[in-house]
Structure 1
């Protein structure tokens, strides 16, 4: 029934039975629906939402919609608004929501409703409500030129082209517009009458419903640069229609072209290789790069997604001293290096990586790096923006210098805060607060590799910071904390409001202490849950365990589920440094719309001893209930594996996710649903600490 033994003991239920009172509802479900798991006469089933609410509201108009829930026991259902924009209300008996939307209030809001049956049963529904202008938005869908007759000698084509015109607006279109076909001779993506020949033009008069489509036949005749060269369509080329968005009116016959093939048949090609400066030997790159747009490549005066992405990484010049390097994604061409002369060496921590984000909200990214105990902020052009010397005094930055950076706007003022270790700095580098000792372990335990987590736990619009196994609000006030062994015992205690509210006996590795955390949606309510992992176990004479433990916590720190055991096979031979688990990865692996999670475990081996020690790299997938989905384990001789989490991406565009990961000597692509290996490449030289990066770095689509 997914209840821990401690909870079963507290409630008096039978831990060996899923349904202690035999009324057809498991003990956990009875606790969640308000009935007594020891009394079959109290059986109650919670309501369930059966109809969704509308997800669009017109700016300056009226929003009216209903999310309806039914109760299987026939109980009357009342509705409560949990979250929504200011002014939105819900009718307590019907579930109807109403909002007179202010003019200009465009954007996206999260709305959450709770349905209550009056007997303890409840259900939640959450949706994103987009507020936009009300109007027509014409765009080009497919440009189908397959019916054209082509002359391969003259490179001409004649016939009829079918252009699909979409109305992506929320208002129906009624009227006339023109569709123009042209050949984009200078590859600008726009029609230029002086240089781009018109291939066809036709008028359209009629209606296109909101979110509807019309297929328009355009008589066509043109000469191209090559056989089957792309043909471009421009809808409303005469600018006769007032639209919500005029930027999506042009597309080409190549826009819908897709490659369909097997990942297993991929043949990797090195597009470019960065080797560093010509003098001084090849530097070491410890982490996978960060990808961002740093330069205005198309000359439109903006740095945005239309520009070629760039790569930023730390390069180690030797002895742990290094520099921040930026290169262009399409060629590997060096853009800049900081420091400019590769001196004043940054003390590169192999477990760290630079962070990129728009700190001050001006639309241009900055980068954060450590040099010694100094935070340095670097501009997109490689110049230094500011630096802050960090104190080594408790409460003033003691933990800083060990951990990765996380950038997040905690208080919603449009500027990012900088999270590192247990400390928070503002966008100008001023120290704001430090989480209380010892909730993040100790002077260095965990801080080199653990990431703080910024998340809205209570859905109030501001972010909380979860660190190790404690939560602070955006001002640094501690909300709750699990503390292990504080009084010399093997107990973990949950503190809230200065008091111990829960005590659990602990044995390694079933430990509620400092560890790795991420968010997961593990139940039906709208608030996020916390997925926690104690990340290190040994397997020597003192700690012979070969498993990890995962816990899922409610936003208030109470245990929702766990411990969930991650069991691994006995390695052929390992050294005594133990096994390390990376940050858990959360994704919908099987396409059922629910979160799953992956625990990645690594162990360090060596080719320098006899018998050889084998490094372990394992991925262990579970659904959100803690049920194992699949296991994949790799053993590489001499591997230095650090439990790197996989990159989750839909590589082949089939709607299902793939996982890109690496072992000590291989790059591997796995099928997310089954863990089956789709493709692998031996790469013994890719001995990096960070996960691989997957991105369209040359902007070719």
Structure 2
């Protein structure tokens, strides 16, 4: 799959007068200087200098007789329908640019005359330092144009032309609201801290469905499966799918049905379902993984079967392969030998990602699940269980002899060698160890005997329950208290506990004093659920997201203060809520599952079932990735488009990471969109109308559905909406991108065609509620004219 590498500075304010302004390609965005002296013009590439002055190549722009030494007044009309540039040069309106006139083959971008480059579908097809300008291409297919909200073939992708990226504004040199845009200013929105207000955004599943068939009791994954943007590729610009397994009645260990759902135009759409039938049924209580495992563009999903096999599905829900017998429980995807081919790692087996054939086998010991990480800092991946570490080929590296499961990885003392954080579930005990070639056996035990119940009494669970005698689910590693050191958290039968990372690594501190905080919860049935964390407010302190048998909880990472709770009925196994941007709106979302087969109910007697997605009421949660691809997710294990890296970077060595089961903000977590517009008439066609070219000059994307208002005269002074206004944008606008929003006016009101009344366009008209915030709104109003050259249309 192609990778987008669009710089956050890749924006433009392109001046193009009409929809038919796609120009012939003449290189990859050559820039020619604007002539500052009277009587000069910009030259294009490989031609003659412009009239009145020397240019480097290209025929100069049109000049009128009263320009040059005769002079004209900047901004005023001149010649025969021309306009005077800021350099005192008279040009036709479509060629005026900064101080000069652009050549015939040039367009004006950020007050610079540039020659458009080659045709592109996206920025990956442009040279370094360039982006794809869609206003210079063909519109192609509409986003979400196919059945079920995805392109199903036969759609021509939108195209553009490569243009050079504009410069970043120097400090103090940012243009004002009414100044020409010559550079782009930093664009950030920093949400207020302490206003945590989750709301339900979307829900799939019916608690009252027959046979409780919408019950979910496993951690879903978030992955890109189809081409929502109709650009011919499946990548991080598309809207991801949420993939999960369901079961009926209380049969959470047999005959699971795989579902792929997505958010299309603000609604949940079920893309497909898959059921294996009688042959090696899918296990609905075991974890799945997703990513590109076969080297062919597109992502696949790996599930476990009730007889321990692994089964791979294509992005459309068709079976790709079924492995031989094994012990599949929680699969992980990785390129173990760094050869460009992905392996599927399950308990006791390494499988070929393309075929499912067994590459190697190993003994997981104590039925522990596995994760993958470089554990001895040699640059190569290892297979990690709670007790043992294996090399990439399945041979044993070290055996700690500690009974433990549910491994997580983090460098708690930040010395470059990570710790294995495991759970001895039978004794509700936290155990930590690491590779150390200087110790006997090649390992060192850091901690054992830490009771994860802390100060809570196991008798909070019934004496005949799992939670009374056992406890401890998959750990999470994150900096909970903002001290710069990762901490460790996990759920048990009676509580959710966080342990201070610094104290865990200090041998002189007793086990009991390593506890940072603990909160009472209820998971007596399995006592093995997991959790995830995320810094929702971007303040450097992670919040906990956890669901037990009756509630979903969000805790402040520093002290466990309850930030949010709501009913969520769940029989519980090993699942956990996760955090990802599932609707591609630039905001983090919480994804939580539930089921209605058990006796647990909400306070009003109701139940929940299926998948629910929560977001912030005020759109204040910061950005995050659009992927969470496996139970052992740790950011560096997968690219945002689903690509499994050939050489995975150690999470614990990356800036702002050193975490496990925590999603993160991409660079520029406070980056925000900034929408501006220009308006011009549609002339010479069968129907008159107006076009608002809406461009995002910010640093983050903005979803489709932005209201664009068209007004006759200034609405602040009594101007009225034009018929058919407002009109919505129809595509996600990434940094630098633009969309032409059209308002047909077959019978224009008086004053439009003759210019006696001005046309005003307002971006985000009426400011309806939405999840995104612009970094500035003082540039949301644009003014123009409806006059066509040569008189009324």
Per the normalisation by structure 2, the TM-score is: 0.48
Q: Does 1:620 align with 2:498?
A: yes
- Equivalence for 2:418: 528
Measured after TM superposition, the shift of residue 140 of structure 1 is: 5.4
Distance 1:412 1:461 in 2: 10
SS of the residue corresponding to residue 656 of structure 1 reads coil
Distance 1:307 1:366 in 2: 16
Measured after TM superposition, the shift of residue 677 of structure 1 is: 1.3
- Contact 1:530–1:555 (Cα < 8 Å) also in 2: no
- Equivalence for 1:260: 192
- Equivalence for 2:239: 308
- Contact 1:422–1:434 (Cα < 8 Å) also in 2: yes
Which moved further from structure 2: 305-314 or 584-593? Answer: 584-593
Structure ranking higher in strand proportion: 1
Measured after TM superposition, the shift of residue 363 of structure 1 is: 4.2
Q: Does 1:381 align with 2:316?
A: yes
- Equivalence for 1:23: none
- Equivalence for 1:70: none
Alignment of 1:225-240 (within 5 A): none
Measured after TM superposition, the shift of residue 273 of structure 1 is: 2.5
Distance 1:558 1:687 in 2: 34
Distance 2:324 2:389 in 1: 26
Alignment of 1:476-495 (within 5 A): 476-483=394-401
- Equivalence for 1:172: none
Q: Does 1:192 align with 2:77?
A: no
- Contact 2:259–2:273 (Cα < 8 Å) also in 1: yes
Measured after TM superposition, the shift of residue 299 of structure 1 is: 0.5
Distance 2:304 2:578 in 1: 21
- Equivalence for 1:336: 272
Q: Does 1:584 align with 2:475?
A: yes
640 and 686 in structure 1: CA distance in 2 versus 1, 3 angstrom threshold: closer
Measured after TM superposition, the shift of residue 282 of structure 1 is: 3.3
- Which structure has the higher relative contact order (CA within 8 Å, separation 6+)? 2
- Contact 1:621–1:628 (Cα < 8 Å) also in 2: yes
Distance 2:375 2:539 in 1: 33
- Contact 2:245–2:284 (Cα < 8 Å) also in 1: no
Distance 1:472 1:296 in 2: 38
- Contact 1:472–1:480 (Cα < 8 Å) also in 2: yes
**Which residue of 465, 476, 489 maps to 1:598?**
489
**Which residue of 266, 287, 297 maps to 2:228?**
297
- Contact 1:532–1:553 (Cα < 8 Å) also in 2: no
Distance 2:177 2:563 in 1: 45
- Equivalence for 1:356: 290
Write out the 4+ residue segments of structure 1 that deviate beyond 4 Å after TM superposition. Answer: 136-142, 193-196, 211-214, 233-236, 276-281, 685-689
- Equivalence for 1:554: 435
- Equivalence for 1:59: none
Alignment of 1:249-648 (within 5 A): 256-257=188-189, 259-260=191-192, 262-264=194-196, 266=197, 268-275=199-206, 282-318=213-249, 319=251, 320-330=254-264, 331-339=267-275, 343-344=277-278, 347-349=281-283, 351-373=285-307, 374-390=309-325, 397=326, 400-401=327-328, 403-427=329-353, 428-436=355-363, 440-441=365-366, 446=367, 450-483=368-401, 512-537=402-427, 548-556=429-437, 557-563=442-448, 565-566=450-451, 567-570=454-457, 571-576=459-464, 577=466, 578-602=469-493, 616-626=494-504, 628-636=514-522, 640-648=525-533
431 and 257 in structure 1: CA distance in 2 versus 1, 3 angstrom threshold: same
Measured after TM superposition, the shift of residue 463 of structure 1 is: 0.9
SS of the residue corresponding to residue 664 of structure 1 reads coil
Taking only aligned residues, the RMSD between alpha carbons, in angstroms, comes to 3.9
Distance 2:406 2:570 in 1: 28
Per the normalisation by structure 1, the TM-score is: 0.53
Deviations 1:647-693 (A, max 9, x none): 11111233321111112211111111222211111233685641012
Distance 1:524 1:653 in 2: 22
Deviations 1:36-55 (A, max 9, x none): xxxxxxxxxxxxxxxxxxxx
Unmatched tracts of structure 2, length 5 or more: 14-107, 113-131, 140-165, 505-512, 587-793
- Contact 1:457–1:555 (Cα < 8 Å) also in 2: no
Deviations 1:165-188 (A, max 9, x none): xxxxxxxxxxx97259xxxxxxxx
367 and 408 in structure 1: CA distance in 2 versus 1, 3 angstrom threshold: same
Unmatched tracts of structure 1, length 5 or more: 1-106, 108-131, 143-175, 181-188, 197-206, 222-232, 237-248, 391-396, 484-511, 538-546, 603-615
SS of the residue corresponding to residue 558 of structure 2 reads coil
SS of the residue corresponding to residue 500 of structure 2 reads strand
235 and 404 in structure 1: CA distance in 2 versus 1, 3 angstrom threshold: farther
SS of the residue corresponding to residue 389 of structure 1 reads coil
SS of the residue corresponding to residue 408 of structure 2 reads strand
- Contact 1:647–1:661 (Cα < 8 Å) also in 2: yes
SS of the residue corresponding to residue 503 of structure 2 reads coil
- Equivalence for 1:173: none
Which moved further from structure 2: 527-536 or 679-688? Answer: 679-688
- Contact 1:354–1:405 (Cα < 8 Å) also in 2: yes
Distance 1:314 1:344 in 2: 16
SS of the residue corresponding to residue 215 of structure 1 reads coil
